Structure 1
């Protein structure tokens, strides 16, 4: 089944022109956010997307540009929308996201609000176990290397679309996904070296031509425009524009 995608933001963690690298994907009527950084609520507002129309959120890892908007979403869901979103969390992140990131602001002992599940329908996602988001929409975790010792994940959707989130370049993973039927790659791109915890444009330019042709670049710096025409066969994806992907 086809997937439509709007990048709520395409910027690196410190970008100001471009928002946090988060996306809204839609498949068979289900609207799923991929990460929720602190600029995500503003992006939804600018795109005239009501929170009520968002069905779920997937979190790839715990940096603020990927989870910084969850506090606002949690409060608005509970007190304004009166609904619980589904929060799809890699199992390895479930305890840490509450204890180390969200508990300090979301816990309210006076009202007996003591857990992440008071705000969201928490759906654990496991490695090597694809999860069906809805009929015709399947998401599979792809472990990535970002910060040593801290779990992070990309997602492989419907067997043809890969979204890296934050990751250094792993050509082997991309080749394996291609061999499994991947036709579209959304990959983070740090424009300036060195890239200790991110994939640099320099490294991405070493990809084989067939992988470059299917690659869209995201998570870039604010001077992206000056790199147009310098990305080989890869293309910069633009924030707040709609893209449609299919297996064909």
Structure 2
């Protein structure tokens, strides 16, 4: 059995030369997306993966760089792939706002019977902090993390051994006590704001305060176009780049 995670993009929301941060998980010939930003369909095309080859999409939160590609995915599945639906995995808190607050404007089409998100996707609701097997060999646990106050946002544990932050403020207690001490995660994929004050993302300066033995497990993602200026300045942490593949134990 094999489990791979391939970064479809590693850029921040404002990056212009990098694709939106999202990932493709491959588990036993099944493909699952973690988020689907505006550039995700283009990145999938770059690696010759078509929408009908995606078994499901996990949504961490509803910022456009994480869900902006859902409309294209839905319409292509509808019109190019004979009304095929893919699964959309999310918590009830995300489900309550995704259609009304984001997708409805472009996708609402009552004359053809498309009145809600369930007309485009098979909705699978996930309970927070409860491990759920998505496909054989691939289990996720969504945990609530702080990104934008009063808006639901989640990080992921993958097979209890990999932590994928999505977007979150720096949380030393979570990283040290939960990710390392309690779960002993061998791999950490963490968003990284390279400069400035960390209002809604962990900054490089904050992540550099972590002990080196933790830094060694961290792959940095969701960074800006100026990343090239920071090569060699990330301590024991490394930048993961677009289309890089990590092999993960199951």
2: CA distance, partners of 1:18 / 1:90: 28
1: CA distance, partners of 2:202 / 2:96: 28
Q: Does 1:168 align with 2:158?
A: no
1: CA distance, partners of 2:25 / 2:136: 15
2: CA distance, partners of 1:35 / 1:100: 17
Q: Deviations over 1:39-89 (max 9, x none)?
A: 111111111112221111001001000010000001011111121101001
Contact in 1 for aligned 2:3/2:137 (Cα 8 Å): no
1: CA distance, partners of 2:146 / 2:166: 11
Q: CA deviation at 1:115?
A: 1.2
Q: CA deviation at 1:2?
A: 4.2
Q: Which runs of 4+ in 1 moved over 3 A?
A: none
Range with greater deviation from structure 2 (39-48 or 238-247): 238-247
2: CA distance, partners of 1:220 / 1:96: 27
Q: Does 1:45 align with 2:45?
A: yes
> Which residue in the other structure is 1:230 paired with?
233
Q: CA deviation at 1:128?
A: 2.1
Q: Deviations over 1:140-167 (max 9, x none)?
A: 0121110011110011010111100000
1: CA distance, partners of 2:232 / 2:129: 38
Name stretches of at least 5 consecutive residues in structure 1 with no aligned partner: none
> Which residue in the other structure is 2:77 paired with?
77
TM-score (norm 2): 0.96
List aligned pairs for 1:26-65, cutoff 5 A. 26-65=26-65
> Which residue in the other structure is 1:191 paired with?
194
> Which residue in the other structure is 1:111 paired with?
112
1: CA distance, partners of 2:197 / 2:189: 21
Q: Does 1:214 align with 2:202?
A: no
> Which residue in the other structure is 2:103 paired with?
102
2: CA distance, partners of 1:111 / 1:62: 26
